[in-house]
Amino acid sequence: MGAHGPAKGLSRWLFTTNHKDIGSMYLWFSFAMFLLGGSFAMIIRAELFQPGLQIVEPEFFNQMTTMHGLVMVFGAIMPAFVGLANWMIPLMIGAPDMALPRMNNWSFWILPPAFALLASTLFMEGGGPNFGWTFYAPLSTTYAPPSVTYFIFGVHIMGLSSIMGAINIIATIVNMRAPGMTYMKMPLFVWTWLITAFLLVAVMPVLAGAVTMMLMDIHFGTSFFSAAGGGDPVLFQHVFWFFGHPEVYIIILPGFGVVSQIIPTFSRKPLFGYDSMVYATASIAFLSFIVWAHHMYTVGMPIAGELFFMYATMLIAVPTAAKVFNWITTMFKGSLTFETPMLFSIAFVFLFTVGGFSGLMLAIAPADFQYHDTYFVVAHFHYTMVAGAIFSMSAAVYYWLPKWTGKMYNETMGKTHFWVSFVGFNLTFFPQHFVGLAGMPRRIPDYNLMFADFNMMSSIGAFIYGASQLLFLFNVVRTITHGEKIDDPKVWDGAHGLEWTVPTPAPYHTFTTPPEVKESEAHG
């Protein structure tokens, strides 16, 4: 043990217990899923390029919207951040590896078969899941294609992977911090992941419960979601969104953490309001458990429920705004430079705030009666999912890629990727606010002529954004093969934290004995 390097060939990856190897596998897997989910999005946008049905059947269109959502949420975004957690948390807290290394490998390896199972449903009789990524009953029970059973078990495996990954992250952070790395000295990325992992352990089992109820209703004659037996289809929505709302914070909190690492580095100032960042993250996590029914204002809840969920939802704006103010104040009077990670991070702050504001509009129950199930909702959550989660993920890759590979990416290509993404993204999703407010429903393959112009803009933007991701892939591969070698442990001159004290590229094993944490290396 200790100094040995990686094994050779395929067995290195199949049998590894190394957090860096497993992190890399998560990252590559999630990028593959990102391209798969992205290609589904391209089919959707191609069909919506102009009114009328031109490319796909409506039935297949439904499968595309469903699979796009499922693959992006469970296959691209979540594993991407788990990959980052694997790579960075042990480096940031001075641990030799993750707490439970073999289980770590298992958490990863059950994911590819789960998604193979999910993707294979597209080729089954009756087609793949076509009920939307939220799989509301009775569309997903009484009226679902037979392949729904494989979907259900696929979700079970993904949930198992997430729970094991989250338990591993909690055990690592609670138990493996180097002496002196107290909780309030941890980098914010570690904090946000600790809270995210808690949310995962709390709500992934509830999702497992929801799909189990579906399985029983479909195959074993139970009546959870059937009013004829005394159940209620709305029950499905309650159980689903009890998982689903914390899930959106599971997706975004690690992104908050990434941005909280990057902005201080390129502002050359410590993060403003570290303590309040920690408390804000914890408040958001707590509130995320008591707002789920704001996804269901139109199902006929009692007025007391509408009001409770409306006010509770609006409360989330308070800690979220605290975070945005802290990021801006960190930049204030800083010595700013605009390398690619910083560009993505600033865009994150700006665009995520746009998504936050539209979220605030949607939180108002009477107004939501107008917006519900329109493209306004689609615009809102893509501003948080894409400009939030994916932009912060891109920022993270550019920020830590030199540490991972010992090579510097090409700044011009990085910036090109950023600007093309930025323009493509906004061109895709900003017009969707307008068509949504004008009444265009989501999840339809055809639409009224009056929405034609904005939809064409949206589709062009989507193709640009899609193409920019190929540029991203090219940049990363090119950096690995042809990047300029660097050996400065610090990489960025404003960087703080333990991950910048190990050599560049990070050796296969780091911190086999815990480092001493100096005041200057704590969160910055």
Partner 1 sequence: MASQGNTGHEVYYVPESSKLAVCATIGLVLTIFGAASGINDGTFGDPNESTNSWFIFWVGLAFFAATLFVWFKTAITEHLAGKNSAQLKRSYVIGMQWFIFSEVMFFFAFFLALFYIRWFAAPWLAGEGDAGRSNYLLWGDFSYSWPLMQTPQDAIGGVANQVMANNGVFSGPERSMAFPGFGELFKWLPFYNTVILLTSSVTVHWAHHALLHDDRKKFHQWLTVTVLLGVVFVGLQILEYYEAYAHYGLTLETGVYGTTFFMLTGFHGFHVAMGMIMLLIQLLRSVMKGHFTKDDHFGFAASSWYWHFVDVVWIFLMLVVYIF
Instruction: Point out the residues that are catalytic.
Output: 68, 97, 133, 161-162, 245, 247, 249, 260, 294-295, 320, 323, 442
Query: Shortest CA distance to 403 belongs to which of 268, 497, 524?
Result: 497
Give the Cα separation of 237 and 480 in Å (integer).
45
Site string for partner 1, 93-132 (x = CB under 8 A): --xxx-xxxxx-xx--xx--x---x---------------
182 binds partner 1 per the rule CB under 8 A: no
215 binds partner 1 per the rule CB under 8 A: yes
Q: Which of 205, 439, 441, 489 binds partner 1 (CB under 8 A)?
A: 205
Give the Cα separation of 38 and 342 in Å (integer).
24
163 binds partner 1 per the rule CB under 8 A: yes
Q: Which of 171, 336, 367, 471 binds partner 1 (CB under 8 A)?
A: 171
DSSP letter, residue 390: I
Q: Which of 42, 119, 157, 413 binds partner 1 (CB under 8 A)?
A: 157
Torsion of CA 237, 240, 244, 245, to 10 degrees: 50
Q: Choose the stretch contacting partner 1; rule: CB under 8 A; options: 52-60, 166-174, 434-442, 490-498.
A: 166-174
Give the Cα separation of 465 and 419 in Å (integer).
10
55 binds partner 1 per the rule CB under 8 A: no
Site string for partner 1, 268-307 (x = CB under 8 A): --------------------------------xxxx----
Nearer to partner 1, 308 or 325 (CB): 308
Q: Choose the stretch contacting partner 1; rule: CB under 8 A; options: 159-167, 250-258, 404-412, 438-446.
A: 159-167
Q: Which of 32, 50, 132, 238 binds partner 1 (CB under 8 A)?
A: 238
Q: Apex CA 444: angle with CA 442 and CA 447, to 5°?
A: 100
Nearer to partner 1, 192 or 475 (CB): 192
456 binds partner 1 per the rule CB under 8 A: no
518 binds partner 1 per the rule CB under 8 A: no
Q: Name the residue type at position 348.
A: F
Please state the closest distance from residue 29 (CB atom) to partner 1, in A.
13
Q: Which of 180, 232, 334, 467 binds partner 1 (CB under 8 A)?
A: 232
Buried b (16+ CB within 10 A) or exposed e, 177-208: bbeebeeebbbbbbbbbbbbbbbbbbbbebbb
Give the Cα separation of 487 and 492 in Å (integer).
12
45 Cβ neighbours under 8 A, 6+ residues apart: 428, 458, 459, 462, 463
219 binds partner 1 per the rule CB under 8 A: yes
Q: Choose the stretch contacting partner 1; rule: CB under 8 A; options: 232-240, 313-321, 371-379, 465-473.
A: 232-240
213 binds partner 1 per the rule CB under 8 A: yes
Nearer to partner 1, 220 or 519 (CB): 220
Nearer to partner 1, 56 or 282 (CB): 282
Site string for partner 1, 25-54 (x = CB under 8 A): ------------------------------
229 binds partner 1 per the rule CB under 8 A: yes
Q: Which of 208, 347, 351, 440 binds partner 1 (CB under 8 A)?
A: 208
DSSP per-residue letters across 475-497: HHHHHHHHPEE---TT-STT--S
Give the Cα separation of 23 and 197 in Å (integer).
16
Cβ atoms of 22 and 105 closer than 8 Å: yes
CA 363 to chain centre: 21
Buried b (16+ CB within 10 A) or exposed e, 291-328: bbbbbbbeeebeeeebebbbebbbbbbebbebbbebbe
Please state the closest distance from residue 507 (CB atom) to partner 1, in A.
14
513 binds partner 1 per the rule CB under 8 A: yes
Tell the residue number behind the tokens 């997430």, with chain if given. Answer: 162
185 binds partner 1 per the rule CB under 8 A: no
